[in-house]
Amino acid sequence: MTSTSEVLDDLEDRLFIGGRWRESASGTRFDVVDPATGDAIAHVADATPADGIAALDAAVAAAESWAATTPRVRGEILRRAFDLVQTQFEELALLMTLEMGKPLAESRSEVTYGGEFLRWFSEEAVRINGRYGTNPEGTGRMIVSYRPVGPCYLITPWNFPLAMATRKIAPALAAGCTVVLKPAELTPLTTLALAGILQEAGLPDGVVNVVTTTDAAGVSGPIIRDPRLRKLSFTGSTPVGKQLIRQAADSVLRVSMELGGNAPFLVFEDADLDLAIDGAMLAKFRNIGQACTAANRFLVHESVAEEFAERVTARVRELHMGRGTEHGVTIGPLIDDRAVTKAQDLVDDAVMRRAALRVGGTSAPGPGTFFEPTVLVGVATGSRILEEEIFGPVLAIVPFADEADAVRLANATEFGLVSYVFTQDPARGQRMIDRLETGMMGLNVGAISNAAAPFGGVKQSGMGREGGVEGIHEYLSVKYTLTPDPYAKR
């Protein structure tokens, strides 16, 4: 087993700017805390706004030469980074469990998933194809080509420390863009480790720069206002996303936004309940419920609602809460006290409105920020838990009467990231694809993420797509050229 100190060595106190590991301009640093124990496990450099601009300077300086590298060279660097992620598989998994809390088995899945973006975009780098054609009038030839958009600023959240970084860095690099990445202050270590991997893979200086900071707004503001920046990609909460879109408006900066969700999980009367319950456990309890794709509202046909509730409650009783590094643990801590308070408030509000608690319902005594896996049934319309993103291990069940009722309830939210549908009727499944207002859907599955798929939402869940053949286009701009018909008489 990899030791903790081995993993944490080399990551402390340093920003990654212009290919160099250096302290912040102020020399200050901040603690990274293990949410399972409340103990500080490392210190990292606390970047100032001047450090942020230094990182942008480095990204701008590297932009032209990186854009001029061949697609094959860019692809091969990404592929080497993918291979290095496999070599450092266990170290990365342990690092994520330590700084974020998820069980080691889930961290390992994230290393697989997160690493895959490096491989996928190493393959996409050589497939940036344009178009050539004759205009309808026959008077000219139309050429459509793609150019890297330019220096990018990437802001990532704490819940998937590796995958959120690779999902942005890999397509940006494949497209020929340079980047400044600001990881969440709660989980900066995995991103720093990834920067080390990219450097080892042969990435030229300045192509990727990492600034860790407790002053997210203070460091981000000047970068976003800088006219040299061409693109902002953000994953995080909807309120912060809206604030960033407003800031980006001033310079008409291109944005990609992966924001909050409020995923409905529909179980129809014709569903295979074994499949639905397996799907529910994944969609709800993966990452301790801390995923924008987590099922937030379980809408279950009234004829199967009680059986579903009983069977899912039995499965929840089998979950084992504890420190993610311990063998057999399936539920780790929530990220911090704020998350525990929020889960408690949402459960209390639902119970006050007459929901029944089948299991769980409270935080666990410290150390660590744990909340018991919980099942609520008969959750009433108007309960906060149906309107807000729970981001915790709380499964809330609402019965519905018929398909029209299910669709109405599912779409009654300003969010539109993902929906899950369990039915054995293919025609009904297809009607749900048409009628549910979400960017993604799991049809008889409880987890949908894949590097080859376009991840993203509609409505207030955001704009843009990450992964798939679509992902690289977030970092490319379209160039249209017209040239005269070469056969025209002059």
Nearest to 344 by CA among 358, 330, 334, 354: 334
Write down the least CB distance from residue 236 to ligand ADP, Å.
3
Question: What's the closest the beta carbon of residue 232 comes to ligand ADP, in angstroms?
Answer: 9
| Per CB under 6 A, 404 contacts ligand ADP | no
Q: Whole-number minimum distance, CB 261 to ligand ADP, in Å?
A: 12
Q: How far is the CB of 49 from ligand ADP (least distance, A)?
A: 12
Residues 51 and 58: their CA atoms lie apart, in Å, by 11
Could you tell me the smallest distance in angstroms from the CB atom of residue 217 to ligand ADP? 4
Q: Which of residues 167-196 bind ligand ADP (CB under 6 A)?
A: 182, 184-185
Contact partners, residue 68, CB within 8 Å, separation at least 6: none
Task: Report the site for ligand ADP in 129-158 (rule: CB under 6 A).
Answer: 155-158
For residue 180, what is the DSSP state? E
Query: Nearest residue to ligand ADP, using CB?
Result: 236
Tokens of 251: 């310079």
Active site residue 152: no
Binding residue for ligand ADP, selected from 107, 109, 122, 220, defined by CB under 6 A: 220
The three-class DSSP label of residue 298 is strand
Asked if 216 interacts with ligand ADP (CB under 6 A), we say yes
- One DSSP character per residue, 16-81 reads EETTEEE--TT--EEEEE-TTT--EEEEEE---HHHHHHHHHHHHHHHHHHHHS-HHHHHHHHHHH
Using CB under 6 A as the binding rule, whether residue 278 contacts ligand ADP is answered as no
Q: Least distance to ligand ADP from the beta carbon of 158, Å?
A: 6
Least Å from the CB of residue 240 to ligand ADP: 4
**Cβ 187 to ligand ADP shortest distance, Å:** 9
Judged by CB, which is closer to ligand ADP: 220, or 363?
220
Q: Which is nearer to ligand ADP, 84 or 224 (CB)?
A: 224
List 258, 372, 389, 466, catalytic entry: 258
Binding-site member from 236, 324, 416, 468 for ligand ADP (CB under 6 A): 236
Q: Position of tokens 């949908």?
A: 448
DSSP H or E run through 131 = strand 131-134
Q: Look at the alpha carbons of 168, 172, 174, 179 in this order and tell me if their dihedral is positive or negative.
A: negative
Beta carbon of residue 35, minimum distance to ligand ADP (angstroms, whole number): 13
Nearer to ligand ADP, 236 or 279 (CB): 236
Nearer to ligand ADP, 18 or 222 (CB): 222
The count of residues interacting with ligand ADP (CB under 6 A) is 14
- What is the arrangement of strands in the sheet containing 140-148, beginning at the earlier edge strand? 131-134, 140-148, 476-484
Closer residue to ligand ADP in complex, CB, 294/309 = 294
List, in sequence order, every beta strand (DSSP E) within 281-417.
295-301, 356-359, 374-377, 394-400, 415-416
CB atoms within 10 A of CB 199: 19
Q: Within 10 Å of residue 91's Cβ, how many Cβ atoms?
A: 17
Q: Is 243 in the site for ligand ADP (CB under 6 A)?
A: yes
Residue 292 a catalytic site member: yes
CA 452 to chain centre: 15
Stretch that binds ligand ADP, among 79-87, 162-170, 214-222, 468-476 (CB under 6 A): 214-222
- DSSP for 227-267, written as a single string: TT--EEEEES-HHHHHHHHHHHHTTT-EEEEE----EEEEE
Give the interface segment with ligand ADP, choosing from 10-18, 96-104, 232-240, 438-446 (CB under 6 A).
232-240
- Of 76-84, 113-121, 233-241, 250-258: span binding ligand ADP (CB under 6 A): 233-241
For residue 12, count CB atoms less than 10 angstroms from its CB and return exposed for 0-12, middle for 13-18, buried for 19 or more.
middle
- Let me know if 456 is exposed, middle or buried by CB neighbors in 10 A (0-12, 13-18, 19+): buried
From 40, 144, 217, 482, residue interacting with ligand ADP (rule: CB under 6 A): 217
Of 10, 435, 426, the C-alpha closest to 200 is 10
Q: Which is nearer to ligand ADP, 261 or 368 (CB)?
A: 261
How far is residue 466's CA from residue 449's CA, in Å, rounded to a whole number?
10
- Considering 292, 372, 389, 466, which one is annotated as catalytic? 292
Region of residue 378 (left: phi > 0; alpha: psi -120 to 50; beta: else): left
User: Phi and psi of 134, rounded to 5°?
Assistant: -90, 140
- Interaction between residue 240 and ligand ADP (CB under 6 A): yes
Cα radius of gyration (the chain): 23
Find the binder of ligand ADP among 37, 237, 362, 444 (CB under 6 A).
237
458 binds ligand ADP (CB under 6 A): no
By the rule CB under 6 A, 215 interacts with ligand ADP: no
Given phi > 0 = left and psi -120 to 50 = alpha, else beta, which region is 331? beta
What is the set of active-site residues?
A: 258, 292
Q: What residue ranges bind ligand ADP (CB under 6 A)?
A: 155-158, 182, 184-185, 216-217, 220, 236-237, 240, 243
